[in-house]
Amino acid sequence: MNTLARLEARSTSPAAGATGAKISSNRPSRAEAEQAVRTLIRWAGDDPMREGLLDTPARVVRAYQHWFAGYQEDPAEHLQRTFEEVAGYDEMVVMRDIDYQSHCEHHMAPINGRIHIGYLPRNRVVGISKLVRLVQVYARRLQTQEKMTAQIADTLQRLLAPQGVAVVVEGSHGCMTSRGVQQAKATMLTSRMLGVFRDRPETRQEFLAALNLDRASRWAAGR
Ligand SMILES: [Zn+2]
């Protein structure tokens, strides 16, 4: 939020933890990954050697590098720059409508949605772009929405140590919209409340009111 940008900033480093999910050493080669895509093309019923599909395996593998970049990132690295001297600011900080793209771990189908993050600072705040990076580290992995919600909230609580963290996630799941029960407009809402957001109903209510969550249904209806 704008409030953050105006705060006088000074960098400091919170304790970093081993929070990454670095890829293990038995990662297959790029050629092996491209071969696996050719297998899936054949399984779908097409010929991976026809002209229109010749470069597809290489493109898919490059797309995977982006979609799953989160495995090679440590969220602690993104949250190391926090800002102290918040000029006595001790009110809630809320960032709404962070877009994310993820993939479900059951079908590898896309999940698209928005994430809303709130926290009550304890002496220090974090730059807004860092919250977006935190979301991307966990979104760019194979996920369930529930797990991603918990990971984002728990990591922010652990690394920033605020008085509390609140995370609400909206998600439209490709595995539900385009296959299975085919619910094109259904969206899932998940949340995790920690610290004062869990313990104090009025704090939780203030956060949820700031989200104005009936926008969620308007957003979903417009898709
Ligand atoms: Zn799925």
Contacts for 42 with CB less than 8 Å, ≥ 6 apart? 48
What pLDDT does residue 52 have? 97
Out of 107, 146, 157, 202, the active site residue is 107
DSSP label at 52? G
Distance (angstroms) between ligand 1 centre and the Cα of 106 equals 4
pLDDT tens digit sequence for 34-68:
999 999 999 999 999 999 999 999 999 999 999 99
Out of 136, 145, 151, 163, the active site residue is 145
Contacts for 23 with CB less than 8 Å, ≥ 6 apart? 71, 72
Distance (angstroms) between ligand 1 centre and the Cα of 147 equals 13
What pLDDT does residue 1 have? 37
Residue 217 has pLDDT above 60, yes or no: no
Q: Which residues pair with 170 in a beta bridge?
A: 114, 189
Known catalytic residue: 78?
Answer: no
Residue 15 has pLDDT above 70, yes or no: no
Known catalytic residue: 51?
Answer: no
CB atoms within 10 A of CB 166: 28
Q: pTM of the predicted model, to two decimals?
A: 0.82
Residue 12 has pLDDT above 50, yes or no: no
pLDDT tens digit sequence for 103-123:
999 999 999 999 999 999 988
Contacts for 94 with CB less than 8 Å, ≥ 6 apart? 1, 116, 117, 118, 207, 210, 211
Tell me which residue of 97, 104, 27 sits closest to 65, measured CA to CA: 27
